[in-house]
Structure 1
């Protein structure tokens, strides 16, 4: 390709209602996307909440080893949630206008349809800027933190999806991490042609030690919140054969930690359960490399980066048969699925993995390593670069 044919670098603005130091799938995706785009020569700017009631301004931050400009807007804590912060809606639009006039991006990629994403999409559309939207949010996932009665929750969900539809229609392309998540979005809005684009990861960042494990270590990685249904996993642990001497490590933190610690005591497994709290990336990778099997009981995953990280670490996966998890777990190949909430079936599935012969276990490890290849971050970056340039991609 000649120099004249080489696509020019773009100025890309990512609108993130959650971003570093938050620890969740949407934030992790935005970090990797931003760093990957910088690595390809683009000028990347990120808008995200500050950690105070005052705007922190615009600074160069190093994300995933790459320098990029982050604009931090004043935010307030949502106290029913253990870490969530939000920008006041009536402040977001004026700030978006000022920022867009100053940065003049070629494209705006919003990571949600709520406050920051909404403001940037509305003001960007007025200026004729290309809008790409990725949906990481289901209104249903927010219900545990609204303190609303049941009838009001149903109203909230309908209102949430209508709001999503109004913003997503401003985008030239709408993506979500998996085909099942895309179908779910199309069922709940008027959007059509939603593209499944994996959040992606670089498998070489993880260490996979292929071979049998002497210790039966079960691991979960993620936020310790209600929608992750970690209590189901805890209830499954006492059902395992005691001769297995299995242990369970919960890597992460959240508002349900005290409740789950109490439950572990009530179940008589406190000595076999470890809560790590927040860990570094290196510590997270070490927990995955040293485990025997990864388990996830969540029923609200639009993809699950943590599950992909476990696959890249060469782990068999036992997951709830819900939302996007069946896209990652191929029954009997790299793991097993269980009926959501069924701790008895979960225990049976875990027991199967933990009693595999060395050859069976290694076969499942290699299947995980093979299955995660399609989620390579470079494929994700290729796709978004094409969408930013206005190319039409097939589903």
Structure 2
């Protein structure tokens, strides 16, 4: 069976969707010889070079993508798409990816007799792309009508989407997973007699809410490590300087997987302060929980509070509120019993999100009728 994965960017570019596709592909390839994958994406290096890489039962094609708008590739051609669709049994598309979805519409007839699967990663309402909904949603409707199955990563993601309601009979929930290399078998002990190390991992974009996290620690005796890069970096760096907390906040960019693993191991608490539903799930929460880290997240109408549960594996606060974040951090770092309970529960909760389970669910979907 040949499966075509279509995603905006792919490994080694770091991000939620990129990680999901990597885990699907590697999880299935590691466990069965039934599927050969082609991954079609944009070249994250933003140049005029198309790259093709062959790995074990996986071909990775990265298309020429010289022009971008707010990290969105502006590419309306995708010249290899037609031949890749013809050569595939299953087309698995990862939404949202606007320029590709415009292109896919031209090839609906080519998909006759083939299975089309949509994984719905996020609702764009209230995101920075909400302004295109009037022209975007009718196009997406046509693709959803053709789709054989629509996968959401949490029940909350479906409930918060108006466009998905009319396709309820096609909806299946498959939670995301994490790379097992981030796993730890031991829960955390309360870090006595030293400064708490707080960790954020993710792209530095407005919706991530990192500015609220930075403001929340201004008066706290903690260290904050921010792992990631993006268009908000200079603004966040300026905020740190303005608050005069350079001794508390350290930025890390372009980290390797091994370096990221060390960040998880050396941290005490993970915070995901996202401010809107552009944060649909937060795979980094799973990676943190797999290391026994308690998690503080925000109460969004998405999968974010579904991953780490309020009062069980951490605390959930209202978004856009530095004071709420500060109080939650104080609650965790000042209560040894609560901290260690959250750590044990995080390791237990994350078992529900294994890569083996997710890849098995997708393999079943590729092979069988929905």
Q: Identify whether the pair has TM-score above 0.5, normalized to the shorter chain.
A: yes
Q: Is residue 178 of structure 2 the alignment partner of residue 201 of structure 1?
A: yes
Q: Which segments of 5 or more consecutive residues in structure 2 lack a partner in the other structure?
A: none
Q: Is residue 29 of structure 2 the alignment partner of residue 44 of structure 1?
A: no
Contact 1:321-1:340 within 8 A present in 2 as well = yes
Aligned residues: 358
Provide the residue aligned with 2:307 in structure 1.
Answer: 328
3-state SS in 2 of match to 1:123: coil
Provide the residue aligned with 2:53 in structure 1.
Answer: 59
Contact 1:212-1:361 within 8 A present in 2 as well = yes
Alpha-carbon distance change, 15 to 132 in structure 1, aligned in 2, over 3 angstroms: same
Provide the residue aligned with 2:246 in structure 1.
Answer: 270
Contact 1:186-1:192 within 8 A present in 2 as well = no
Matches within 5 A, 1:235-274: 235-240=215-220, 245-274=221-250
Provide the residue aligned with 1:135 in structure 2.
Answer: 120
Q: TM-score, normalised by structure 1?
A: 0.84
Alpha-carbon distance change, 49 to 142 in structure 1, aligned in 2, over 3 angstroms: farther
Alpha-carbon distance change, 227 to 52 in structure 1, aligned in 2, over 3 angstroms: closer
Alpha-carbon offset, residue 119 of structure 1: 3.6
CA distance in 2: counterparts of 1:60 and 1:388, whole angstroms: 22
CA distance in 2: counterparts of 1:258 and 1:181, whole angstroms: 31
CA distance in 2: counterparts of 1:199 and 1:383, whole angstroms: 11
Matches within 5 A, 1:107-186: 107-112=90-95, 114-117=98-101, 119-120=103-104, 123=107, 125-126=109-110, 127-140=112-125, 143=128, 154=131, 156-186=132-162
CA distance in 2: counterparts of 1:189 and 1:48, whole angstroms: 29
CA distance in 1: counterparts of 2:174 and 2:38, whole angstroms: 21
CA distance in 2: counterparts of 1:283 and 1:45, whole angstroms: 28
- Structure 1 window deviating more from structure 2 (68-77 vs 38-47): it is 68-77
- 1:354 aligns with one of 333, 343, 346: 333
Q: Is residue 366 of structure 2 the alignment partner of residue 388 of structure 1?
A: yes
CA distance in 2: counterparts of 1:118 and 1:129, whole angstroms: 19
Alpha-carbon distance change, 55 to 204 in structure 1, aligned in 2, over 3 angstroms: closer
Alpha-carbon offset, residue 178 of structure 1: 1.0
Q: Is residue 24 of structure 2 the alignment partner of residue 24 of structure 1?
A: no
CA distance in 1: counterparts of 2:106 and 2:4, whole angstroms: 14
CA distance in 2: counterparts of 1:204 and 1:180, whole angstroms: 28
- 2:205 aligns with one of 215, 225, 244: 225
Contact 2:205-2:232 within 8 A present in 1 as well = yes
Provide the residue aligned with 1:283 in structure 2.
Answer: 259
The answer to which structure has the higher helix fraction is 1
Alpha-carbon offset, residue 122 of structure 1: 5.2
- 1:317 aligns with one of 281, 295, 300: 295
Q: TM-score, normalised by structure 2?
A: 0.89
3-state SS in 1 of match to 2:341: helix
- 2:67 aligns with one of 69, 77, 96: 77
Q: Which segments of 5 or more consecutive residues in structure 1 lack a partner in the other structure?
A: 1-9, 147-152
Alpha-carbon offset, residue 385 of structure 1: 1.3
Alpha-carbon distance change, 57 to 254 in structure 1, aligned in 2, over 3 angstroms: closer
Alpha-carbon distance change, 135 to 59 in structure 1, aligned in 2, over 3 angstroms: same
Alpha-carbon offset, residue 76 of structure 1: 2.6
Alpha-carbon distance change, 360 to 348 in structure 1, aligned in 2, over 3 angstroms: same
Provide the residue aligned with 1:34 in structure 2.
Answer: 25
CA shift digits 1:249-282 (9 cap, x unpaired): 1011111111111111111211100001121111
**Aligned CA-pair RMSD:** 2.2
3-state SS in 1 of match to 2:151: strand
- Structure 1 window deviating more from structure 2 (339-348 vs 47-56): it is 47-56
Alpha-carbon distance change, 138 to 212 in structure 1, aligned in 2, over 3 angstroms: same
Alpha-carbon distance change, 122 to 128 in structure 1, aligned in 2, over 3 angstroms: farther
CA shift digits 1:362-385 (9 cap, x unpaired): 211010011111111111112111
